[in-house]
Amino acid sequence: MTDKKTSHTRLLLRLDAGAHDSDASVTRGLSALFARRWQAAHPGARHRYRDLVAEPVPLIDTSYCAFGRKVERYQDLPADGPTGLVESAAEARVWAMTRPYVDELAAADTVVIGAPLYNYSVSAHLKAWIDRVAFPGAFTDPSTGRSRLARTRVVVISARGGDPADGRDFQTPCLRAWFRRLGVTDERLHFVQADRTLATLVPHLAGERERAAASLGAARERVGALACVG
Ligand SMILES: Cc1cc2nc3c(=O)[nH]c(=O)nc-3n(C[C@H](O)[C@H](O)[C@H](O)COP(=O)(O)O)c2cc1C
């Protein structure tokens, strides 16, 4: 597995999970802005882009669960993690499909995710990545027992059509809990939100346009600031 601690080059992993691939996409626009600013602030650094919609992550299946359950039985994993437990052709296939996602997340210094709010939660494309990448033991350093993501910065850029006061955002608590469980620290986990994005489109939300523009402006500023540190 790639270990960023031995790497001398910074890596930004950018993920887009919004189904609407157009200039109108708020999350795609903001994640692209983050990447541009980050690259300007870190000349020579590497940038890995994954469009989870154009290239969907394969949904997990029985063979993924079977290999995951086998790995769960071990208290101490081999030095090369789940790789060292691959025995059958089925396990080799599962791990070959999963490992690239694990490796690039573990190798990234900074991860930025364009994550629109869909039906109160994460998009199906992002959920497919979450389920696959969170393979048992994949982010535990076998030599220390600590998380390989303890120094990773994560910036989640979310957009929602409606009013944040409706209390129906289950995406933010879900992603916060998930990244925490993987070992990302609270100090390195950031959420940026643009609200009321449908105000420009939906006639009965026209009265919200000013607040929507202010929210987008604040999100752009925060994205620019977050891209310049770390
Ligand atoms: C399938 C789908 C489900 C949505 N569900 C919600 C929702 O639950 N709450 C909300 O405020 N907006 C919802 N929206 C609106 C999007 O969050 C909003 O349009 C957002 O800007 C989309 O991100 P994008 O601009 O990057 O495409 C939904 C949009 C779609 C396409």
**Ligand 1 center to 104 CA (angstroms):** 28
- Alpha-carbon distances of 207 from 24, 25, 165, 168, 202, rounded to whole Å: 20, 21, 16, 21, 10
Task: List, in order, residues 6 or more apart from 23 with CB less than 8 Å away.
Answer: 29
Per-residue pLDDT, 164:
84
Residue-wise pLDDT for 94-129, tens only, equals 999 999 999 999 999 999 999 999 999 999 999 999
Residue-wise pLDDT for 180-225, tens only, equals 999 999 999 999 999 999 999 999 999 999 999 999 999 999 999 9
Per-residue pLDDT, 1:
46
Pairing of strands 153-159, 189-194: parallel
Sheet with 46-51, strands from edge to edge, namely 46-51, 11-16, 110-116, 153-159, 189-194
**Ligand 1 center to 201 CA (angstroms):** 12
**Ligand 1 center to 116 CA (angstroms):** 6
- Residues in contact with ligand 1 by the CB-under-6-Å rule are 18, 20, 25-28, 116-120, 159-162, 197-198
* Ranges of each domain in the chain: 4-57+102-131+147-227
Residue nearest to atom 30 of ligand 1 (CA): 118
Residue range 4-57+102-131+147-227, CATH number: 3.40.50.360
Per-residue pLDDT, 165:
83
Residue nearest to atom 23 of ligand 1 (CA): 116
- Alpha-carbon distances of 104 from 13, 47, 76, rounded to whole Å: 7, 11, 23
Per-residue pLDDT, 9:
82
**Ligand 1 center to 118 CA (angstroms):** 5
Residue nearest to atom 4 of ligand 1 (CA): 118
